Amino acid sequence: MSADDKATLVFAPFPFMSHLVSAVELAKLLTARDERLVVTILVMKLGMPAVEMAKISSYTKNPPNPRINFLHLQENESASTPPTTSKNQILQFMESQKGPARDAVAEMMKRQNGRLAGIVLDMFCTPMIDVANELSAPAFIFFPCGSASLGLMLHLQILHDNRGGDMEECEEVSIPTHVHPVPAKVWPGGHGQRDMFDKDAGILEFLRRYKESRGFVTNTFLEFESHAINSLSADEKLPPVYPVGPMIQGGGEEADEDKRKREEIIAWLDEQPHSSVVFLCFGTCGWFKGDQLKEISTALEQSGLRFLWSLRKPPPNETLGFPGEYENHEQVLPAGFLQRTMETGKVIGWAPQMAVLSHPAVGGFVSHCGWNSILESVWCGVPVAAWPLYAEQQSNAFLLVKEFEMAVEIKMDYMINSDVIVPARTIENAIRQVMDPENKIRPKVKELHDKTRTALVEGGSSYNFLGRLIENVMDDSS
């Protein structure tokens, strides 16, 4: 194959590990499907905890295949200067990266003497549409969440602008991508927060530019979100949507300590009966305060069920950041809890989530309803008890509980920074329901679990949408 037959796609993921890994999974799908495609993934440097930076650095050292490579952008001095506007720091950061990204991509393409097929932008990287325009390349939005969430956010942005920003009287709203009206308490940002509409948040500014793209790539599949996908596809005002999932994030390389922890956790699960363990895990940024930990502990103990609990330490000042590890769980749990439950439960810190969910001993999942976690639960056929914490997780929980009726609710409108305490009885009842082998949600999860594989194979819905995406890309670049 000659160099002229090659086409380069540039990916611009937001510099968080979860966003970077999602971008790599999409790149792997594309390059595996069409040998003409080469993917370069831009790695931006955003100030964050050293642990997260180390993970990104380690992850980007070894590209997954010869046609995927990482391009590290030089730090822009203006990115660290004090803000001069009220815009969100993320938006400012992305604006500061446009120049370095443009110059790096232009230099790369000149060096390769190739053709730029398009730029695939993370949902928070829409300022980079300007870079695509300058380089005469189509821009695609990679929305790593579901299609219903995409439809909800786009509709709320339009509604907000049409109402002149007055959203206070909207208690619920009918959304084309949803069967039922969506209450305000589960909109992104949560009840009483309305972070999505906060001028300082900048979210609306990202969304307003979505329609400038050539298409939306979503990490979902038609059999899971048929109503939302068909609704988006029928809207002539929107670019086409390409649901190409489920893209399940692999474990990747593990540090020696993480490997040791994983082996210990799996060894414990190996000793448990089939479908007997409820797994509690709340994502990359999930944590709870002391009073809430006591209620969870009481619920687990009173239920008598076997459990595996990933318990993380709140970040400094209890901000929405990256949790750490407790040196001793006894310091934050009720006195004697670990001793009384040592025969039935195990409290851990970091958890190898996919390895745990795929273990036959796990029968239920208490989850924050992050989209990756939802897809992993469906992939593994494990029913969910929904306890969202932040971002779009409340609307994800609404989707699972009310729209699909395939999850149990703990508290659908819970917010991580609220003073609300979910009582032990509520948690216990939900855990008992999700672990009940006769629960009506279990067959629905099993049916969907079977469809996750067929969507990806030749002739499946996601396989076909991926083919359409590649046709769009190659037609534009030829």
Is residue 170 situated within a structural domain? yes
* Closest-CA residue to 100 (of 80, 122, 79): 79
Same structural domain, 119 and 90:
yes
d(CA 140, CA 122): 9
Is 296 found in the same domain as 212? no
Task: Tell whether the model's pLDDT for residue 433 goes beyond 90.
Answer: yes
Same domain, 328 and 458: no
> Which residue numbers are catalytic?
19, 122
**Do residues 425 and 466 both lie within one domain?**
no
The answer on 267 and 242 residing in a single domain is no
Q: What is the pLDDT of residue 2?
A: 54
pLDDT band at 476 (very low <50, low <70, confident <90, very high): low
Q: Find the largest Cα–Cα distance for the chain.
A: 69
CA angle at 274 for the pair 270 and 275, rounded to the nearest 5°: 115
Record the tokens describing residue 444, joined without a space.
Answer: 């629905």
Query: Given pLDDT bands bounded at 50, 70 and 90, which one contains residue 85?
Result: very low
Task: Assign 26 to helix, strand or coil.
Answer: helix
HSE of 475 in the Cβ direction (CA atoms, 13 Å)?
7
Any idea which of 79-88, 101-110, 218-227 has the lowest mean pLDDT?
A: 79-88
* 446 inside domain: no
* Helix, strand, coil share (%) of the chain residues, nearest 5: 45, 15, 40
Indicate the range of 94-98, 128-132, 417-421 predicted with least confidence.
417-421
**Contacts with 449 (C-beta within 8 Å, 6 or more apart), sequence order:** 378, 379, 380, 381
Residue 116 DSSP code: E
- Size (the chain), residues: 478
d(CA 430, CA 445): 16
Buried b (16+ CB within 10 A) or exposed e, 167-203: beeeeebebebbeeebbbbbbbbbbebbbbbeeebbb
Same domain assignment for residues 121 and 265: no
Continuous segment of H or E residues that includes residue 469 = helix 461-477
pLDDT at 76: 57
Domain count across the chain: 2
Q: Which of 249, 264, 245, 153 is nearest to 201 (CA)?
A: 153
Least confident of 70-84, 209-223, 341-355, 445-459: 70-84
pLDDT of residue 89: 80
* 118 — pLDDT class (breaks 50, 70, 90): very high
244 shares its domain with 277 = no
| Co-location of 59 and 184 in the same domain | yes
Both 280 and 145 in one domain: the answer is: no
Quote the CA–CA distance of 439 and 445 in Å, as a whole number.
Answer: 11
Same domain, 212 and 329: no
Number of H helices and E strands in the chain, helices first, is 16, 15
- pLDDT, residue 192, reads 41
User: CA 366, 368, 369: angle at the middle one, nearest 5?
Assistant: 100
Residue 444 falls within a domain, yes or no?
A: no
Please tell me whether residues 206 and 269 are part of one structural domain.
Answer: no
Looking at residue 362, which CATH number applies to its domain? 3.40.50.2000
Mean of the per-residue pLDDT values for the chain?
91
Asked if residue 467 is part of any domain, the answer here is: yes
Q: Give the tens place of pLDDT for each residue, 256-265.
A: 888 999 999 9
Q: Per residue in 154-201, pLDDT tens?
A: 999 999 999 998 888 889 999 999 999 999 999 986 434 446 887 767
pLDDT at 5: 75
Residue 239 has pLDDT above 80, yes or no: yes
Helix (H, G, I), strand (E, B) or coil at 89: helix
pLDDT at residue 202, rounded to an integer: 79
Give a yes or no: residue 449 inside a domain.
Answer: no
pLDDT, tens digit (0-9, with 9 covering 90-100), for 22-69? 999 999 999 999 999 999 999 998 766 676 777 888 889 889 999 999
Cis preceding-peptide flag for 246 (omega within 30 of 0): yes
User: Which residues constitute the domain of residue 422?
Assistant: 256-439
Asked if residue 237 is part of any domain, the answer here is: yes
Question: Is the confidence at residue 86, as pLDDT, over 50?
Answer: no
Q: What is the mean pLDDT of residues 269-277?
A: 98
Is residue 277, in this structure, part of any structural domain at all?
Answer: yes
Query: Does residue 397 have a pLDDT over 50?
Result: yes
pLDDT tens column, 300-358 = 999 999 999 999 999 887 665 688 899 999 999 999 999 999 999 999 999 999 999 99
Would residue 127 count as lying in a domain?
A: yes
Does residue 430 share a domain with residue 354?
A: yes
Residue 252 in this model has a pLDDT that exceeds 80: no
